[in-house]
Structure 1
Amino acid sequence: MNIEEFHLNLNSDVRARAEAENDFAAGAFASLMAERLSDVEEIDNLQVMHYEGLGSKRQNLAVDGFDLDDTDGQISLAVVDWRDSENIAVLSTTDAKKHLKALEYFLTESVQNFLEDALEESSIAYQLARDLRSRGRNVSRYRLYLLTDGRTSDRMKDVVSTELNGVPIEYHIWDLRRLHQIQESNSGRSEIEIDLDQWLPQGLPVLKTEGRSNDFVTYLASVPGNVVADLYGQYGSRLLESNVRSYLSARGQVNKGIKTTALSKPEMFLAYNNGITATATAVSVDASSGMPVLRGIDNLQIVNGGQTTASLYNLRKDTSPKPDLSDIFVQMKLIVVDAAKAEEIVPDVSRYANSQNKVSAADFFSNSAFHRRIEDLSRRVVAPALAGKSYQTYWFYERTRGQYLNERSRGGAAQAKAFEARNPKTQVMTKTDVAKFELSWQQKPHIVSQGAQKNFMAFANSVADIWERSEADFNELYFKNVVARAIMFNTIRADVAKAEWYDKGYLANIVTYTMAKIAWEIEKNGRGYLMDFNTIWAQQSLPLPVRDFAGHVGSLVLGALISPDRTVDNVTEWAKRAECWTLIQQIPVHFPESFMEVLVSPTKQIDRRRQAAATQKIDNGINATMKVLQIQPADWAEAISYGQQHRALTEKELSVLKLVAKATPSIPTDRQSALILGALQKIQDLGFTKI
C-alpha cells in the first residue's frame, strides 16, 4: 500500500471514529494514535485529553495526551497537529517547533509555575499539571511527541534535546510517513538504531559464533555496567521484549542481590550474574584491528536479563552518592536474526531463555495456536446479515499488525471495495481489542485500565491456563461470544460518548468498568441466569434493555471515578487500582426486570458449550489428519531416522510414524494423527528442520 492510499485509509478511520464517539476529528485522531503507539510499543497507555491555554508569560500551552506510568520512570506527553486535508499536507520545521514548544511550555508551567492553580479543579488538565509538579525530579526522562497526519518536510531539521531541572527532554515526531513505514515494516515496532561509539569509542569487543543455521549469528561480549545503565536510561523499556517488560513491571525496582554485588563486590559481578540474552536484526562490525568489535546495533531487544538491566540503571539513579559502575561487566549473548524472520524467531528465543523462570508460553503469543485458531474462525464464520443487506460479513481478527490493510490492498480498487464490504472496518478486532473485551467481561476493569500491553499479558496467561486444560473450548461458539462482547463493548462506548452526562474524559475507563459492573450485577441479581451472547451474535446488536441499563451504570461509574473521596488523586491511576473496582462493585444499582429477558439458563448455555467443544474436537482430528497426509512419506522416513538417532521416540510413536512413511501411506485415525504430530514436535524441538 502506497502512502497516498494509507493517508486515505487513515482519514477514513478518523472520521468514522469521530462520528461513532461524537468527538472532534482531532480527538479521534489522538485516540487512534494512542492505540497505534501502544501496538508498536512506543507509548503503552497514552491517555487522550485536550487542553489549550496561555502561560504566565502569555505563551501558548497545549497538550493532547499523557502517559505517566512507564516502568522506567519516563513521562510521555503528546500534542496533535491534525490537518484533515484531502491531499497530504507538509509539516515545516517552524510548524513542528511551534506545536512542540506549546507542549514543552505546558510541562514547564506545570512543574515550575503551579499551572494547576489557574485550572478548573475537576479537569483532566488540572490533574495532569498537579501530577507533573508533584513528581519533581523523580522522573528519568520527558518524551514529548508531536502526532500529525501531515508529512514532515524533506528539509526538516532535528529538534535538539533539552532538559528541565536536570531531567532530559526528548522530542519525537510521528508523521504520516513514519506511520506508513511502521505499517509496512516486518517488525511492527519503531526502529531503534544504537550507535555504540558514543559510549565505547574503540567499539565493543565480541566473539562471533556460528551454528549450522543461516537464520542467525551469535556474538558473545562483556558489556561495561555503565553502558548497560546508559542504554536503559536512553531507551528505557523499549529495549525489553514485551514479555520481559511485563515480567519486570511486577517486581521491585532494584534486585537486592544485584545491588549487594554491584556495591560491595563490583569486580565479581561478571562471575555472579547470569547476564543478558538479547536479539537484534542487524549489527555493524569492525574487524580492521584483528579482534572484531561492534559499532552499532539495530533493534536491540533484551529477552532475558531485564531485571539486571533495569536494576543497574535504577541503582545508579536512586543511590546517593551515585555508585561508579566502571568496574562492573555484564556478559551478553547477542543473537542477530534476519529482520524478515524476527517475528518468528525472537519470541522463541525469549521463550527458551526464560524457561527457568516459569514464564507462561502464552507470553510469546503472536504465533500461538490460540491466535491461529481465532484467525481461522474469523475467516470462515460468517456473521448474520443485517437488516436491509443482501450479503453477510465477517469479523476480521488481526492476528498480526497490518493484516487487514495488507489483505485489503492485494488487488485493485474493485477488489479492495469488495473486500471491505465483506470485512467492514468496524468489524476488525486486534489481539489487544479481544483482551480488552474479554477481561472487561471477566470483571477485571482495573487490569484493562493499566493499558493495552499489561492487559494483553494478563489475558494471555488466562488463555494459556484454559488452553492447557481444554483447548477444544476455544471453538466457534467461543468466537461468536467474543464478537458479541465486542459488540457490547463498542456499543457501550458509542452510547457513553453521546450521553448527556458524559463530559469528554476517562471514556476508556468508564466503558470497561461499566461492562464489568453489568457482569457483576448479573451474577448477583440474575437468579443464576447468564448473559445470552448467542442472541447478541444473532442480532449483531446489543438489546435495548442492556443499552439502557449500561447508560445508567455508566453514569454511576463516572461518579465513582471522579469522586472527591477516591484514595488516589489522579483518576486514571485510581482506575488501575483493585480498590477502585471493589468500590464500584458496592455501588447500589436497580436491576430492572426487563433485563431478565436477555439472559439464558445455565443449562442451555452448558449444552451449547458441550456441543461446540465436541464439534471442535472433530475439527481438530480432521485438521490433524489432513496435516499429516500433506507431508510426503520420504519426509516422514527422515523424521523417523532423526528421531531414532536422537533416541527421542517411543515404540508407540515409531509404529504410528511408520504408517505414514510407507510408499503408500495408511490413513491414520484422529488419535494416531495427534500422536504423529506430537512426535514431530518432539524431534523439531531437537533441531529437525526437514518438515
Structure 2
Amino acid sequence: MILDDFHAMISEDAREEHENGRYRTREEAIEGILCGYLEEEQVITDLQLSPYQKTNSGRQAMKVSAHAFDEKNATLSLLVVKWERNNKLVKMSRNDANRMFKMVRRFYRNAKIGMYKEMEETDTAYTLAQMIYERQAFISTVRIYLVSNAIIDIEPPPDGEEEDTLFSYDVWDIDRIFRLVGQAGSTAETVIHLRDQYDSSICMMKMQAEHQKYDCYVGMMPGAVLARIYDEYGQQLIERNVRSFLQAKNAINKGIRDTVRDEPEMFMAYNNGISTVATWIEADELNHGVVSVHSLHGWQIVNGGQTTASLANAYKNNLDLSQVFVPIKLTILKSNQNKDRIIAYISKYANSQNKITMSDFSANNPWQVEMEKLSRRTWVPSRQRVRWFYERARGQYLVELNRQSTTARKKIFRSENPKSHVITKTLAAKCMMCTMQKPHVVSKGSETNFVKFMELVDAGKVPFPNEKYYKHMVANVILFDKCDRIVKNLQLGDYKANVVAYTIALAYRLNETEIDLDKIWAKQDIDEKLELLLQDLARKVWEHITHPIVEGTNITQWCKREECWNLLLKRQGIIVASIEEDEDDEA
C-alpha cells in the first residue's frame, strides 16, 4: 500500500462511518479515525473525543478535537485534527499549522478562566473545559498534537513555559501515521546499519558456551545512538507480540530525565538496560570473545521500551546524551522454531519485577489464534458476503489488504472485510469484560483491561473459543457499538467511555434475559426494546458517576474504582457481596 491508497482508504472509511451514523459529520469521523490510530498504536492512551470549534473571529478562534489527561504525570494532551477536504494528498502550509496550534492554546487559556460556565452542559467539550478550570493547578505539562490527513512538512514549535506550565508540540501528519500503522504489519526485516547510519558500533562480549538455539552478547550502547534509532524507527523496534506491555510512552520518565540532566555519567550504573533480539548481526572480531557490532538484522527491543522512549524524548528535547550509556543484552535466535515463545519468555523474565506474566504476551496465545481462525471462516448471516475481521496482532488488517495483488482484489477484500468490521483484541477484551461486569477495570484503559482479561483466559475463567463463543463475542461488540452511539446521541457530555462500560455491565446485571446474543448475531443489530433499556440505564449511570461519594472527586479516577461499581449496584437495590479490587492495579 502506498500513501495515496492509505489517504483514500481513510476518506472512504470516514464517509462510511458518517453514513452509518457513528459520527455526526465526516469531519468528526476523520477525527475519530486518525485519533483512533494514535490510541491503538499507544502514542497516546485513554483518548476521549471532545470536538469543539469557534472560528467566528481570527483572534478568538478556538479548536480542539480530543484530549487525554494523565493524572499520575500531571500531563494534559490536547489534539487538534485538521481535515483537508481534498480527494488528493495536499500539503499544509506553515501558517495553517501554526494557526491550529494557536487555536488550541487559546482554548486552553480560555478554559483556565472558566469558559465552561458559558458553554452548554451537553457540549462535547464542556467537561474538558470544566476539568481544565478545576484542575489547572495540577497540570504541569500540556502536550499539543496537530493531526491531519494532509502532509505537514514543518518542525513543530519549540517547547515553552507559560505560568509554570510546560507546553510541548508534536505533528502527526498522514505520512507519519501511515508509517506508524504500516510498519506494524510490515514483514520486512528491520536492519540497523550502526556504522553507516549512525557512525557508531557496539562493543559486546559473546557468551562463551555454544548453543544450537541462540548466541548471546552483552555490552553497552551510546544513549544518543539508541535515541536516534528510536526516533527514526519508533514502534517498529518493539516486537509486536509484546509491544503493548512495554508501555514506551511519549512522556519522559522523570527518573530517567533527571539522571540524564543532572548525573548523565551515572546512567549506566542506575539503569537496568535493554534486552534485545536479532536474527543475525554483522560484526568485526576483536579478541577474547569481544566483537564490534556494526549491523543488526531483525533487531527488536523486547524489554526496555520505557528507557528507550524516554531517551528518545530527552534527545528531542535537546538534553545532552554524550555521557549516557545503556547496558544492552543481545540474543541472536538461530532458528525460527519456537521463536515467538522464546521472545515472550525473554520479556517475561526481564520484566518479572513488574509482575508481567506469560498471558501478557498474547498474540500467539492459543486462545487468540483460535479467535482469528474463527473470524476468517465465519460469515455474517446476510445476503452480502461479509465477515468480521479479528486482529490478534497489530496491523493484521493492513497486512492482509496489502497482500491482495490487484486493485480489484483489494476492493473485494474491503467489501468482504469492511473496516467497520475490524475487531482488535483490545476491543474484544473491553466488550467481554463489560459482559463480565467489570466496568471499573475497563475504565482503567484498553491495555490494563486487556492484561486483566488475558489473565482470566490464562486461568481458565474464560471459555476456549468455539463458533458459538465467537458469534456471541461479535454480538457483544455490536451491543457495545450500539450503546456507544446511544450515549453519544443522549449528549450527556464527557465520560462517554465510562458511561458505555457501566451501562452494558449494568444491563447484564439487571436485565441479562433481555440480551439475546443469538438474535443480535442473526440481525447484526439490537432490537428497539433493548435500545430503550440502554437509554434508560445510561441516564442512571451518568447520574451515578457524576455524583461520587466525595464531592470534587475526579470522575475519571472514580470510575476506575470497584467502589464506584459497587455503589451503583447498591443504588439499584442490589446487595454487593465483596470487593475484589487490587488497589495496586489502579492506574
Q: CA deviation at 1:520?
A: 1.5
Distance 1:70 1:226 in 2: 30
1:10 match? 10
Partner SS, residue 91 of structure 1? coil
The equivalent residue for 2:446 is 452
Q: What residue in structure 2 maps to residue 36 of structure 1?
A: 37
Which whole-Å deviations, capped at 9, do the CAs of 1:320-342 have from their partners, x for residues lacking one? xxxxx99998743245899x99x
The equivalent residue for 2:181 is 183
Q: In the aligned structure 2, how far is the partner of 1:229 from the partner of 1:169? A: 22
Query: Do the aligned partners of residues 406 and 331 (structure 1) sit closer, same or farther apart at CA in structure 2, a change above 3 Å counting?
Result: closer
Q: Who is 1:426 aligned against?
A: 420
CA positional deviation for 1:54: 8.7
Say which of 365, 376, 387 aligns to 1:394.
387
Q: Say whether 1:50 aligns with 2:44.
A: no
SS of 1:159's partner is coil
- Structural mapping, 1:17-416, within 5 Å: 17-19=17-19, 20-53=21-54, 58-69=59-70, 74-107=75-108, 114-116=113-115, 119-120=118-119, 122=121, 123-130=126-133, 133-137=136-140, 139=141, 142-152=142-152, 156-165=153-162, 168-186=166-184, 206-209=203-206, 219-222=217-220, 242=243, 244-245=245-246, 270=269, 276-278=274-276, 303-304=302-303, 331-334=327-330, 344=340, 347-354=344-351, 359-385=356-382, 389=383, 391-409=384-402, 410-416=404-410
Q: Quick one: higher RCO (CA 8 Å, sep 6+), 1 or 2? A: 2
Alignment of 1:611-622 (within 5 A): none
The 1-side partners of 2:44 and 2:186 are apart by 14
Whether the 8 Å CA contact 1:51–1:125 is kept in 2: the answer is no
CA distance in 2, matches of 1:119, 1:440: 35
Gap regions ≥5 residues in structure 2: 313-320, 575-587
Q: Which amino acid aligns with 1:507?
A: K
1:495 aligns with 2:491: no
Q: In structure 2, the residue corresponding to 1:90 is in which secondary structure?
A: coil
Q: Distance in 2 between matches of 1:531 and 1:392?
A: 26
Q: Deviations over 1:507-529 (max 9, x none)?
A: 3222221111101113xxx6xx6
State whether residues 237 and 245 of structure 1, in contact with CA within 8 Å, keep that contact through their aligned partners in structure 2: no
Measure the CA separation in 2 of the matches of 1:106 and 1:196: 44
Matches within 5 A, 1:572-611: 572-588=556-572
Show the counterpart of 2:315: none
Deviation at 1:3, TM superposition (A): 2.3
Q: Residues 453-468 of structure 1: matches in 2 within 5 Å?
A: 453-466=447-460
Amino acid at match of 2:129: Y
CA distance in 1 between counterparts of 2:44 and 2:68 reads: 7
SS at match of 1:586: helix
Equivalent residue number for residue 317 of structure 2: none
Cα separation, 1, equivalents of 2:549 and 2:35: 29
Whole-angstrom CA distance in 2 between matches of 1:44 and 1:327? 32
Any conservation in 1 of the 2:48–2:67 contact (CA below 8 Å)? Answer: yes
Q: Kindly state the Cα deviation for residue 576 of structure 1 after the two structures are TM-superposed.
A: 2.7
In 2, are the aligned partners of 1:244 and 1:303 still within 8 Å (CA)? no
> Is 1:31–1:48's contact at 8 Å kept on the other side of the alignment?
yes
- Quick check: 1:545 aligned with 2:529? yes
Deviations 1:432-465 (A, max 9, x none): 1101111111112222222222222222222111
Q: Aligned letter for 1:407?
A: E
Please state whether the residue corresponding to 2:459 is helix, strand or coil: helix
Asked if structure 2 preserves the Cα contact closer than 8 Å seen for 1:285 and 1:293, the reply is: yes
> For the structure 1 residues 285 and 114, does the alpha-carbon distance in structure 2 shift closer, same or farther, using more than 3 Å as the test?
farther
Contact 1:148 1:174 in 2 (8 A): yes
**Alpha-carbon spacing, 1:302–1:485, altered in 2? closer, same or farther (3 Å):** same
* Structure 1 residue matching 2:170: 3-state secondary structure: strand
Letter in 1 for 2:168: E
Instruction: Name the counterpart of 1:320.
Output: none
Q: For structure 1, which segment, 14-23 or 205-214, has the greater mean C-alpha deviation from structure 2 after superposition?
A: 205-214
Aligned to 1:68, the other structure's residue is in SS state strand
Moved more, 101-110 or 511-520: 101-110
1:482 and 2:466 correspond: no
AA aligned opposite 1:545 = K
Q: Distance in 1 between matches of 2:559 and 2:421?
A: 28
Aligned length: 539
SS in 2 for 1:43: coil
Q: Aligned pair in 2 of structure 1 residues 438, 421: CA closer, same or farther (>3 Å)?
A: same
1:12 aligned partner, one-letter code: E
SS in 1 for 2:49: strand
Residue 533 of structure 1, CA deviation: 1.9
Alpha-carbon displacement from aligned partner over 1:571-621 (angstroms, at most 9, x marks no partner): 43433333332333234399xxxxxxxxxxxxxxxxxxxxxxxxxxxxxxx
**CA shift in 2, pair 1:355/1:530, >3 Å:** farther
Unaligned runs of at least 5 residues, structure 1: 314-324, 591-691
Shift of 1:532: 3.4
Equivalent pair of 2:82/2:146 in contact (CA under 8 Å): yes
Q: 1:59 to 1:120 in 2, by over 3 A?
A: closer
Q: Larger deviation: 438-447 or 421-430?
A: 421-430
Letter in 1 for 2:422: V
Answer with 2-11 or 14-23: which moved more.
Answer: 14-23
Q: Tell me whether 54-63 or 424-433 shows the greater mean CA deviation.
A: 54-63
Deviations 1:221-271 (A, max 9, x none): 357999999999xx99999964654699xxx9989xxx9xxx9xx98994x
Other-structure match for 1:509: 498
Q: Once the 2 structures are TM-superposed, how far is the Cα of residue 550 of structure 1 from its aligned partner?
A: 0.9
Work out the CA distance in 2 between the residues paired with 1:103 and 1:282: 47
Q: Distance in 1 between matches of 2:298 and 2:106?
A: 32
Q: Distance in 2 between matches of 1:380 and 1:61?
A: 48
CA distance in 2, matches of 1:49, 1:560: 21
Distance 1:193 1:134 in 2: 46
Q: Secondary structure at the match of 1:359?
A: coil
**Counterpart of 1:393 in structure 2: which amino acid?**
V
The TM-score with structure 1 as length reference comes to 0.64
Report Cα offsets for 1:96-127 as digits up to 9, x if no partner. 121122223444555xx635576549422323
Q: CA offset at residue 307 of structure 1?
A: 9.0
For 1:52, what is the secondary structure of its paired residue?
Answer: strand
Amino acid across the alignment from 1:66: H
Secondary structure of 2:62's counterpart equals: strand
Farther-moved stretch of structure 1 (410-419 vs 291-300): 291-300
Letter in 2 for 1:380: R
Decide which moves more: 345-354 or 361-370. 345-354
Alpha-carbon separation, structure 2, partners of 1:135 and 1:577: 21
Shift of 1:160: 3.8
